[in-house]
Amino acid sequence: MKIGIFDSGMGGLIVANGIIRKLPQYDYIFLGDTARVPYGNRSAETVYSFTRQGVEYLLEQGCGLVVIACNTASADALRRLQKEFLPGRYPDRHLLGVLVPAVESAVATTRSKRIGVLATRGTVASKAFAREIQARLPEASVTQKPAPLLVPLVEYAGLRWARPILEDYLYELQEADIDTLILGCTHYPVLRPLIEDILGEKVSVVSQDLVVPNALEDYLKRQTQLANKLTSDRTRQFMLTDITRDNETLASRLFGEKIEFTKVELG
């Protein structure tokens, strides 16, 4: 069986790259729902239904485990899929999100218990990060900031305009005197050096491209039955629900190498 990685679009290629580098032996299928991206401004119900279709597609392709790389989808759909969808249809398959590894890392890092979260509007509205942090650290104070302009900046090579926008988004988090910041969106690892520069040394930045591959490795060490079912032929398939020339350029930038995509239809 393969490992599936699902994202609303292309940003998940950053975390996919981290996972594949860390665990290169396995077979992977990446699926990005580029026909319907972005998810970050959509209702929870729509995000759930799109995510269910993407995950189901990957399970039908023979994935034993699907990582939902998209924070918005992890926030709005993961728990419901684990409770309502998997047990009846695919009881032996596994579904993981990217929120919990980031939360666990932040909870282990913070000293002041003041944690910030930068994410899409949808993820902030779901309050999923705050819930997961407070479940582990009830006295934590969590300041969330929606940052809707950052995804387009990363996708359209607009990093030269990122500093003033980031300074504005981060101001509230600095005012809240956080000592740990979670980058709660697929695209934000690209902005990490700039964010670290603005926040200075006193704030630790949790980036999913670094924490999720480690969390997945630990998970597979614990889930030996699943790990034994995963095949190790080092194949990689990359699928999108819409392909344009822009996708190919962006993919090279996010994944670090040229990728051949196959088009698939969901729903």
Q: Which residues are catalytic?
A: 70, 185
Least separation in angstroms between residue 215's CB and ligand DGL is 16
N- to C-terminal Cα distance for the chain? Answer: 23
DSSP secondary structure code for residue 120 in this structure: -
Token pair in block for residue 72: 């918005």
CA distances from 77 to 122, 133, 263 (A): 12, 18, 24
Q: Is 38 in the site for ligand DGL (CB under 6 A)?
A: yes
- Characterize the bridge pairing of strands 28-32 and 180-184: unpaired
53, 266 contact by CB (below 8 A): yes
Q: Which of residues 169-198 bind ligand DGL (CB under 6 A)?
A: 185-186
Of residues 123, 204, 241, 247, which one binds ligand DGL by CB under 6 A? 123
Please identify, among the stretches 34-42, 48-56, 77-85, 194-202, the one whose residues bind ligand DGL according to the rule CB under 6 A: 34-42
Least separation in angstroms between residue 89's CB and ligand DGL is 24
Token pair in block for residue 219: 């998970």
Q: Is 18 in the site for ligand DGL (CB under 6 A)?
A: no
226, 64 contact by CB (below 8 A): yes
Distance CA 7, CA 32 (A): 5
Please identify, among the stretches 50-58, 65-73, 136-144, 223-231, the one whose residues bind ligand DGL according to the rule CB under 6 A: 65-73
Least separation in angstroms between residue 42's CB and ligand DGL is 8
Q: Is 4 in the site for ligand DGL (CB under 6 A)?
A: no
Q: Is 117 in the site for ligand DGL (CB under 6 A)?
A: no
Token pair in block for residue 209: 């491209």
Closest CA to 177 of 116, 131, 109: 116
Sign, CA torsion 9/12/16/17: positive
Number of residues forming the site for ligand DGL (CB under 6 A): 16
Question: Which lies closer to ligand DGL via its Cβ, residue 36 or residue 93?
Answer: 36
- Residue that is written with structure tokens 């699902």 in the block: 6
Question: Which lies closer to ligand DGL via its Cβ, residue 9 or residue 213?
Answer: 9
Q: Is 72 in the site for ligand DGL (CB under 6 A)?
A: yes
Total number of residues shown for the chain: 267
Question: Which lies closer to ligand DGL via its Cβ, residue 70 or residue 178?
Answer: 70
Distance CA 94, CA 262 (A): 24
Of residues 14, 70, 77, 102, which one binds ligand DGL by CB under 6 A? 70
Q: Is 126 in the site for ligand DGL (CB under 6 A)?
A: no
**Which residues of this protein are in contact with ligand DGL, per CB under 6 A?**
7-9, 11, 37-40, 70-72, 120, 123, 151, 185-186
